[in-house]
Structures are given as structure tokens and as C-alpha cells.
Chains A and B, each alone.
Chain A
Amino acid sequence: MSELKTVGKPTLRMDALEKVLGTARFTHDLKAPGMLVAKVLRSPVPHGEIVKLDVAPALEVPGVVAAITSEDYVDHSNWGFPVKDDYMLAYERVRYVGDPIAAVAAESEEAAQAGIDAIVLEIKELPGVYNVHEALEEDAPLLHPELAASENEETDAEADPQYIEVQAQGNLSETLIVRQGDPVAALEKCEMVVDQHYSVAHQEHAYLETEAALATPTPDGGVIVYLGDQSPFITQSNLTMTLGLPADKVRVVQPKYIGGSFGGKSDNMYETGGQAAMLALRSGRPVKLVLNREESMLGSYKRDAMTMHYRLGADADGTLKAAKIDCWSDSGAYASMTPFTGWRASIHAMGPYRYDACDVDVRGVYTNNGYSGAFRGFGSPEVQAVSEQAVDELAEKCGIDPMDFRLKNCIRLGDTFPYGQKLEESAGLDACLERVRELSDWDKKRAEYAAQPADAEIRRGIGVGCFFHGCSQGAEGADNATHIIRLGANNRFEVISGLTDYGQGSRTVFCLIAAEAMGLPLERFEWIQNDTDVSKDCGPTVASRSTMLGGNATRVAAERLREQIRQTAALLLRCEEDQLTQEDEEFKAPDGNSVTLDDVISYSRTLNIPMSATAYWEMPHIHWSFSEGRGTPYVAYHFGAQVADVEVDTRTGKTKVLQIWAVHDVGRVVFPEGAVGQIIGGIAQGLGYGLLERVDFQEGQLTNPNFDTYLIPTAADMPPVTVEFVEDLLSFGPYGAKNVAEPSMVPTTPAILNGIYQATGERVRHTPANLERVLLGRDLKDSVVTVCRDGICERARCDIG
């Protein structure tokens, strides 16, 4: 590859200026003439039957213009993928506290609230279920009896091998498996075995900008929805289906600035958009719906809580042999993305190691604890927070240093993953481990902390976490993107993508790639906001797939456009195209004559040459057998390792993280400032996940719905972070790039938890490792947990930890 001029070079974020000036307008900041304000009525109970719902009294309230329920939509507003179990507004039943029931649009917020208060609602409470193991008991209340009843229906799984077969049985929505050999027999032969229970808590995305939509009716009976969601084409399809409009009458436009997402702006945004859109259609006026923080936390999906039973076995010399892993994911009231997060969890549950035999079973279970869905990492942080602790426990049993144990067993180039895929390229895990060991001065600190006086009250510990994380969606489904680059105003080129930039920086990444491929300065490019009338469907903006998919589509489009420019320049210079040389914006002919890009563009206009190019790019095809639990789940993997140096005050249980070192193999770094920002931002979320964050459901009631009780890390909680990259290039990534955003938080949590263990000698197997758990080894109040013996789960009242 010739030397790169733009990609990987220091660049400033393209959208930073308007953000520092405060002039960037987010959805919260939009307005339209004659705009109404909307409010949503939400369920106060975790499970109930709607006995009576009458919005007519709301319409009597002065200022109220429209009021809607599920009856206003097609098929009672039923939607959902991969399981069609959800509603824009509840139909007959509510399944979690916060489930939307009705919505009102009025001249003012006060009138809208008065309208909500006037709605007649009677709910007959039904017994709820709040624990995944209880939910699987035979007499458990069913959340979706209609789905459970359809378990024997034929599916078209045979016809479509990419399909996750959802087999509802009672409250079990699905089971995702990985299979290799006979781990039970292999574990019996292992000299060293870890057999432990762990859990991770629900996590809130806590994007700073809450859900918001502005819907405006169009004269032809359609609607334009301004929505800061992740995937406008999916919103469009859900709205088309539930509003009963053809696709050309539902336009979804993303404001140019979106206040964070982290996987959290999908289902809730389809609903927010769908509610605002119906109110706009019913009222004939623009309608703005903005959720306040409490409404956002009640109404949005979370990272699933998971309970896990890990059995890992090794030879006495520390060679990993077998894993038997059982996980129960709390899907909450609806399936949302849990079938897919469960699948990603099943692939990543063993961690990045070689095994002879393994079984993984991840079960998604309906409960009345809110609902769970996509969140940065998508199942991978949940399981690798735990597998990396289990591996540490096994290393200790074997008497081997945790870093040595990982280096001995980790996946390297040419190794085969337990599910049968050979790692053929871009395999930098061992390099990441070696480098983070050196950077953190691991061996010296590890020995030093091991020699702390037994009576020291302030104790230090150092821990490591390493990981792998499949790039993009993998065998979940079709994986492609279509980008357009076209000549726009002021002779600048517009990069048009159906992928969303909600702050992660993809607009800068795409423009850098276009600039590189066309040999032009970055200033020549401009990113155009996502709009279903303008962009092409690129699939969802999830799974850290933008750089690989959108980057490649940009690269191909830019190469095609470069050809057009060169052909036009050759015409203008009266030479052959292959005789041209290009220096930045100047094209030279062999005779010494030259023209500028602006000359070429002017000439192209006289010749009616379009100066635009469209390119489709798709991932190499792979296959995973969901029934056999084997195959190739992902085309490539991001690898990395982090070390956390922690200090624990054993008098209070307070853990202070003193420093984190992070080394990640992301393939080519395209936008260095952005990549470092993604890593450190992910580390902050991983630190919160490990030490602070738990969405606290008590019998289905969310008890911490704002930032005074749901704590996320502040600047004072964050340690200095050192970030380095191993650039083990991927042949089919754009300029060798893989992905960055999602995986960055994965190793942080276990590195901190392993550090706490070295400091205190007590392992906290349930997150978050808050003061109580670190100090007492348990929660202050007794906790009901499930204990799994011989594969049979039973409930027990005992101390966690």
C-alpha cells in the first residue's frame, strides 16, 4: 500500500466548531411554526391488563388538540424485530413500568400534561415476574402467552440460514448455543477447575440528549419525522407499517447533531417517532415530543442483566481445556435485541482462548424488569466481564501469573476458535498483551502489591482484562452499505451515508477516507446528514460497523469519482488519462500544462458530466449454524488488553482506579483523535459498569431514574488513561481498518475487578463492585440469588459474594 496522506494522520473533528460555540442544533433544539407539545402516558405497574382506556376526556381539556392510543394505528401498533412482540402504544396489556399507553398533543406542555391527567385508565394488575430463574418455573406468570402458545409452529429457519429461530417456550424467548466436544467429560479430567456463579447488572446508556422527535405533517397526507435515532431506515419501515402509510409518505430526517447513543437509540426512538408522527397526522400540525430524564430512563431499554454459571478447566500446567457456561439474560418485557445480544454473548462467553471442548447456552428470558436491548458491546461486555474473572481464578489455582496464563492460552494467528473458525489474519491479541504488560510495568507492580503488609488498610492491586470482539454484525444478517459522493455547493464533495454519526465521529472517518482515495484535501468534503429521502439504506448504525462498511463504500465511491475527475482533466488537457499526474488539486499533462480541480469541475459542467458516484459494499459472506452452535460468526475481530491499577480503602470499600493502560488491535487507525476518544470513552463506561452502575428494579419498579441516584462516572472518578494501538491490518478493511467503538469498554470492567481481588483477596463476582460489596463481600440487604447445582437451579436467600 502506498503511503497514506490523510488516513491515520492527525485531524480535527469536522463537527467540533459548532459544538464548542453552542450553535449546533440537536433535536431538542428544533422548532416548527404552530408546533404542538406532546406527552406520553406510561404504565405505573409492571404487569397488568388494560381494562379501560378512554382518551376522550383529554380532548375536552383546553389546549389539547389530539390524543391517541394503539387503536389509532394499524394492527394496534404492533411491531418488533426479530420478535414482533412490542407496540408503539400498549395494546390490552402493559408489561413494564414505563410501557407507553397513550399520547396527547397540546398547545403547551402544561395543557399536554393536563390532557394526560384527564385520560381514563383502569389497569387490572397481574402477577409479575422479576427474576429470570423464577420466570422459567412452570407456574410463572407469562408475559407473552400468545408467543408461548405458538412454539410448535413451523418457522422458515430452514429456508433462511441467517435467521435466529426464536422458539418461545413459556417466558424463555430463545436459547443461543455454542458446541464443541464434550466439556462435561473434559472437565472431569481437568486437574484444575473453577466452578463459580457471577452476575452483571442492568446498565443505563445515559446518553445526555434524551429521546426527542419533531413530526410535521405534509400536504399529501404523509409525515416528516426529525429524529436523532441510530437507523432512520428501520424507523421508516416501522412507521410505515404501524401508521399505515406507503414508504414515500414517511420521511425520516436526522438532525445533524445527536446527543449520544451507545446503542440506546433504537426501539425507544421508533416508539417516540411513531407516537409523534401519529399525533402530527391526527392534529394536522407539527408535534414535538421530548422525554425528560425520568421518562427516558423508564421508557428506554437497558443493557440486560445476566446471571452466569462458569465452569472452566485446565491442566495442572495451566493449559485451558474445557468450558461449560450457562447464562440467563434478563430480556425484560420485550425481546427487542436480546435474541441478538444473546447470540453475541454466546460467541464471546469463552473469551479469546483455545479450548478442546466447550458448551455455551445463553437463554433470553422475559421478565417485568423494564426491557433490555442493544448497548455498546451488545452482550460481549456482559460475558467477558465474567470470563476474564473466571480465567483469573483459574490462573490462580494453577499458580500462574494472570498475564502469563493469558499469553499461554490466547488465540493467535492460525489458531482455531472453539466454534471451528480459523483465525487467518489481523490477530494482534498476543501483541496487545505483551505491550500492555510492558506499558503498565505489570511484573514489578504485581510483585510489589503481593508484598503489601497484611494489615495495610489502603491496599493496591493490579488487574488485567483481555478480549476479542467480532467486527460488525457477523452472521446476524445481511451486512452492506451504499454511499454516494457527489459534487455539491462551492465545488465541495458531499459524502452521503445512511449510517449515523451520533458523536462517534463517522462523518470525519468517511470524509478522511474519501479524501485519501481521491488524493484531495479534507476541506473539499462535507458530510450530509442522514435522510431517508436522500441517503441509501446502509443497514443499522450498530455493532461498530460504520468504519468497515461505510468506510469501504466511501472508498469505492471515491475511487470511481476520482476516475471521472481524471477523465475530465485528461479531456481538458488533451492527453491520455494515464499520462496525468496529480498533486493535491492540480492535474498535470506531460507537456507541462496543468489545470486545477476547480477548472476540471467547471469543464465537467459544460460537458454535463455528473461528478457523482455511488458504491455498494458488502461483507464477505459467512455462515453460522444456530442449531449446531458452530460456524463462522464474524469475518474478523477487534482484540485488546487493558490493565487497571487500583487502590481500595478497606475501611470504606471505596475503590479508586489510579491508572488504566489500554492497547487495542483495531487494524488501521483512520481518525486517531476519534479512535483515542472512543477508547477512553468506552473505558469510562466500563469503569461505571464495574464500580457504580446498576439500574435498580425493585419488583419491577425502577428506583433510580435520574442522575442523583443512577451514578455514572464524573471527571473525578476517571484515572489517567494511556492508549496505544496495535495496527494488525485487515486485508478487506478500508485501508486495513477494523472497528473501535463498542469493544473499548469490554476489558475495563474485569481488569478493575481483578485488580480489586489482588488488593483485597476477596473476589466480587457480582457487579457493580460498590462500597458494600467490596467492604462486606455482599449487599447490605439480604439478596435472593439463584444457586445452580448439578444443572438444576434453585433459589436461595443468601449473601451475594
Chain B
Amino acid sequence: MQIQFTLNGQATTVDAPADMTLLKMLREELDLTGTKCGCEIGECGACSIILDGEVVNSCLMLAAQVDGREVITIEGIRGEDGGPNDLQEAFIEAGAVQCGFCTPGMIVAATVLLEKHGYPTREQIAEGISGNLCRCTGYQQIIDAVELTARRRAGEEI
């Protein structure tokens, strides 16, 4: 079936089977492999994407459900020059990346968290990314990265 939606700011049409998950469509039909598959039951958050401003697990949605809606994947999260944005820079700077498999989903979750909270507390950050599992880092440096971004966006001297 034909699915028309906005993907990372671009009008996109995909012809996909009706039972295909959104995750599979992104990875296999569109080759957007930044969105990862970790559990397929909505527990690990590696497949997080932004749908109409909310974080969703793309493994739990059918591709057809995004028809007429707006999807942002990790490939759509960029700075003005097309390189990393301030949040992605902060992930590098704070040491928030190890194996990197959870990283795109973490950045997606943190993007929405920062949009909603502006200046979240560390507890709010931890809560906000608790749907995203990371087995490498122990999360502290990820929380540092999100906090660093919030402080910079608030104009604080770091």
C-alpha cells in the first residue's frame, strides 16, 4: 500500500506491505539504518523515532500508521551545517557514547525531552531516557550530555 508522510522534512511516498512495521520500512525500504532494532517489543528504545513531536518505538507501529504524519529519524537530527547538532556534540564531549547501538535512540529521546522540558533536572533526564536501554555506559555520561545541552541552550557559561 502507498504511504505518504513527511520524513525528516521531505515529502516521502513508500509502497509497503500493510503488515510491515515502521521500523522495517525505515531500515529496509528506505535504508535509514540509524534507527536500530534491539527487542521488537518496545522495551529497549533503540528504534525510537519522533512522530508528530512525540517519541515512539517504531518496532511497535505499522508503517501504514504514519500516513499523513511527520516522522523524524536520527538521520534528520542535524546541525545547521548538516553536521552534528549541539546535543550530538555534547554526547561526544561528555563521553556518552560507547558501542553506539543505543545512541541514535537516546538522542531521539533526549531531543524530545529537551523540547518539552527546556531545562530538565537530572532526575527528569533520567526519567525521560529510561525507556532507552544502554548496556555499556551506566547512563551517567548520557545524562551529563543532555544536561550540558540544556545549560548551553539556556545561555549558561560552561
B residues 9-60 touching A (CB-CB < 8 Å): 27, 33-41, 43-44, 46
Inter-subunit contact B98/A28 (CB<8 Å): no
CA distance A716 to B133 in the complex (A): 11
A residues 16-35 touching B (CB-CB < 8 Å): 16-26, 28-29
- A24-64 vs B, CB cutoff 8 Å, 1 = contact: the mask equals 11101100000000000000000000000000000000000
CA distance A369 to B19 in the complex (A): 36
- Residues of the B chain whose Cβ atoms lie less than 8 Å from the Cβ of A502: 99
Binds B, one of A189-197, A272-280, A430-438, A706-714: A706-714
B residues 84-104 touching A (CB-CB < 8 Å): 84, 88, 91-93, 95, 97-104
Known contacts: A674-B95, A683-B138. The answer to whether A208 contacts B33 by CB under 8 A is: no
- Residues of the B chain whose Cβ atoms lie less than 8 Å from the Cβ of A504: 98, 136
| A706 interface neighbour in B41, B91, B104, Cβ under 8 Å | B41
Q: Is the C-beta of A673 less than 8 angstroms from some C-beta in chain B?
A: yes
Residue count of chain A within 8 Å CB distance of chain B: 55
Inter-subunit contact A715/B33 (CB<8 Å): no
Inter-subunit contact B133/A208 (CB<8 Å): yes
A residues 247-272 touching B (CB-CB < 8 Å): 257-262
Inter-subunit contact B43/A715 (CB<8 Å): no
Q: Is the C-beta of B130 less than 8 angstroms from some C-beta in chain A?
A: yes
CA distance A707 to B37 in the complex (A): 13
- A183-218 vs B, CB cutoff 8 Å, 1 = contact: the mask equals 000000000000000000000011111100000000
CA distance A168 to B132 in the complex (A): 44
Q: Is the C-beta of B137 less than 8 angstroms from some C-beta in chain A?
A: yes
Q: Is the C-beta of B63 less than 8 angstroms from some C-beta in chain A?
A: no
CA distance A13 to B99 in the complex (A): 11
CA distance A707 to B33 in the complex (A): 22
Known contacts: A28-B33, A292-B40, A721-B140. The answer to whether A714 contacts B133 by CB under 8 A is: yes
Inter-subunit contact B136/A20 (CB<8 Å): no
Q: Is the C-beta of A631 less than 8 angstroms from some C-beta in chain B?
A: no
Q: Is the C-beta of B127 less than 8 angstroms from some C-beta in chain A?
A: yes
Inter-subunit contact B138/A721 (CB<8 Å): yes
CA distance A28 to B37 in the complex (A): 8
CA distance A25 to B74 in the complex (A): 13
Inter-subunit contact A715/B37 (CB<8 Å): no
CA distance A17 to B91 in the complex (A): 9
CA distance A713 to B137 in the complex (A): 11
- B126-145 vs A, CB cutoff 8 Å, 1 = contact: the mask equals 11011111111111111100
Known contacts: A206-B135, A293-B38. The answer to whether A21 contacts B74 by CB under 8 A is: yes
Inter-subunit contact B84/A505 (CB<8 Å): no
Inter-subunit contact B33/A25 (CB<8 Å): yes
- A652-682 vs B, CB cutoff 8 Å, 1 = contact: the mask equals 0000000000000000000001101100111
Inter-subunit contact A716/B103 (CB<8 Å): no
- Residues of the B chain whose Cβ atoms lie less than 8 Å from the Cβ of A677: 95, 98, 136-138, 141
Inter-subunit contact B36/A208 (CB<8 Å): yes
CA distance A504 to B41 in the complex (A): 27
Inter-subunit contact A715/B93 (CB<8 Å): no
Interface residues on B, range: 35 or more
Closest Cβ of chain A to B126, distance in Å, is 4
- Residues of the A chain whose Cβ atoms lie less than 8 Å from the Cβ of B142: 715
Q: Is the C-beta of B107 less than 8 angstroms from some C-beta in chain A?
A: yes
- Residues of the B chain whose Cβ atoms lie less than 8 Å from the Cβ of A28: 33, 36-37
Known contacts: A20-B103, A681-B136. The answer to whether A293 contacts B141 by CB under 8 A is: no
Inter-subunit contact B75/A207 (CB<8 Å): no
Closest Cβ of chain A to B122, distance in Å, is 8
Q: Is the C-beta of B150 less than 8 angstroms from some C-beta in chain A?
A: no
Inter-subunit contact B103/A19 (CB<8 Å): yes
| A673 interface neighbour in B36, B95, B107, Cβ under 8 Å | B95
- Residues of the A chain whose Cβ atoms lie less than 8 Å from the Cβ of B140: 680, 718, 720-721
- Residues of the B chain whose Cβ atoms lie less than 8 Å from the Cβ of A209: 36, 38, 99, 101
Q: Is the C-beta of B125 less than 8 angstroms from some C-beta in chain A?
A: yes
- Residues of the B chain whose Cβ atoms lie less than 8 Å from the Cβ of A19: 97, 100, 103-104
Known contacts: A12-B92, A20-B92, A677-B141. The answer to whether A503 contacts B74 by CB under 8 A is: no
- Residues of the B chain whose Cβ atoms lie less than 8 Å from the Cβ of A261: 99
- Residues of the B chain whose Cβ atoms lie less than 8 Å from the Cβ of A20: 84, 88, 91-92, 97, 100, 103-104, 107
CA distance A677 to B95 in the complex (A): 7
Closest Cβ of chain A to B114, distance in Å, is 15
Closest Cβ of chain B to A741, distance in Å, is 10
Inter-subunit contact B34/A257 (CB<8 Å): no
Inter-subunit contact B130/A685 (CB<8 Å): no
Q: Is the C-beta of A85 less than 8 angstroms from some C-beta in chain B?
A: no
Closest chain A residue to B88, Cβ basis? A20
- Residues of the B chain whose Cβ atoms lie less than 8 Å from the Cβ of A13: 92, 95, 97-98
Inter-subunit contact B75/A293 (CB<8 Å): no
Inter-subunit contact A684/B101 (CB<8 Å): no
Known contacts: A17-B92, A22-B74. The answer to whether A259 contacts B33 by CB under 8 A is: no
Known contacts: A16-B91, A19-B103, A22-B73. The answer to whether A716 contacts B130 by CB under 8 A is: yes
CA distance A576 to B68 in the complex (A): 73
Inter-subunit contact A15/B41 (CB<8 Å): no
Subset of 20 A-B contacts with CB under 8 Å: A15-B100, A17-B92, A19-B97, A20-B92, A20-B103, A21-B34, A21-B75, A22-B73, A23-B34, A206-B135, A257-B100, A259-B36, A503-B100, A503-B101, A677-B141, A682-B138, A684-B138, A708-B41, A714-B139, A720-B140
Known: A23-B75, A26-B101, A503-B99. 20 other contacts (CB 8 A): A13-B98, A18-B100, A20-B103, A20-B104, A22-B34, A26-B36, A29-B33, A206-B133, A207-B99, A208-B46, A209-B101, A293-B41, A505-B98, A674-B95, A676-B95, A684-B139, A714-B133, A715-B125, A715-B129, A718-B138
Could you list which residues of chain B lie within 8 angstroms of chain A, going by C-beta atoms? 27, 33-41, 43-44, 46, 73-75, 77-78, 83-84, 88, 91-93, 95, 97-104, 107, 125-127, 129-143
The 7 nearest A-B residue pairs measured at CB: A22-B34, A503-B99, A19-B100, A259-B101, A22-B74, A680-B138, A684-B138
